[in-house]
Amino acid sequence: KAGVTQTPRYLIKTRGQQVTLSCSPISGHRSVSWYQQTPGQGLQFLFEYFSETQRNKGNFPGRFSGRQFSNSRSEMNVSTLELGDSALYLCASSLGLAGGHVGGELFFGEGSRLTVL
Amino acid sequence: TQLLEQSPQFLSIQEGENLTVYCNSSSVFSSLQWYRQEPGEGPVLLVTVVTGGEVKKLKRLTFQFGDARKDSSLHITAAQPGDTGLYLCHNDMRFGAGTRLTVKP
């Protein structure tokens, strides 16, 4: 069974630009959640999508958005990039709702490392 | 807001030593997951604990869930360099800050 695939793996942007990251979940998984990981803040939850609906959202500004398609693939977008957005963005898929008792185990991709100059 | 506090933040030990890392919260966990993350990779699930007082073993790793379901611990026996990584606890879409373990040969 193929794992979670994230693209691109690395990218460099400048302040003010926008970026779109893609995540293909494990086949059959309906939940995709996104996390930002930085040395200072650790792993922080961005949002979760389940069956094309945003189910939960973390405490991030509106510049961070996402969506999920009917095939469960997900994208996240960050607009008007700031230097502080430099981070590893991790996507995780799960069979059921993320963290739930049943099917809530998260399977992570290798991440997209974003550098904002 | 339930915060997950992990301790210690950093741990550096010699191969063959034992260690314990902790995950605590002021609120009751519905369930708790432990993950390990190696450099350049995403976290990988080690175990899910659900029942208060539960103990689960995974080879040299022993996971305990507190009776009150507010704390959990991970004990590694005879640590090996391959155990090096960032150990994270997770509940309800929140991760602890992690314990960064280095096992020296």
Q: Of B68, B65, B83, which is closest to residue B19 (Cα–Cα)?
A: B83
Q: Which amino acid appears at position B46 of this protein? A: L
Q: Which residues from chain B sit within 8 angstroms of residue A48, using beta carbons?
A: 93
Residues of chain B with pLDDT under 50: none
Torsion of CA A100, B9, B65, B67, to 10 degrees: -120
Q: Are strands B55-58 and A107-108 parallel, antiparallel or unpaired?
A: unpaired
* Interface test mutation site (partner A, options B2, B35, B93, B95, max chain A beta carbons within 10 A): B93
Contact A4 B42 (CB under 8 A): yes
Contact B93 A101 (CB under 8 A): no
The one-digit pLDDT tens for each residue of chain A (117 residues) are: 679 999 999 999 999 999 999 999 999 999 999 999 999 889 999 999 999 999 999 999 999 999 999 999 999 999 999 999 999 999 999 988 777 666 788 999 999 999 999
Q: Of A1, A25, A10, which is closest to residue A74 (Cα–Cα)?
A: A25
Q: What is the pLDDT of residue B50?
A: 87
Q: Of A28, A34, A52, which is closest to residue A109 (Cα–Cα)?
A: A34
**Mean pLDDT, chain B, integer:** 93
Q: Of A29, A26, A68, A27, which is closest to residue A47 (Cα–Cα)?
A: A68
Quote the minimal CA–CA distance from B30 to chain A in Å.
8
Q: What is the pLDDT of residue A1?
A: 60
Quote the minimal CA–CA distance from B41 to chain A in Å.
5
Quote the minimal CA–CA distance from A4 to chain B in Å.
10
Contact A106 B90 (CB under 8 A): yes
Q: What is the pLDDT of residue B30?
A: 82
Q: What is the pLDDT of residue B2?
A: 60
Q: What is the pLDDT of residue B93?
A: 85
Mark B80-104 as b/e (b = at least 16 C-beta within 10 Å): eeebbbbbbbbbbbbbbbbbbbebe
Q: What is the pLDDT of residue B78?
A: 98
Q: What is the pLDDT of residue B1?
A: 53
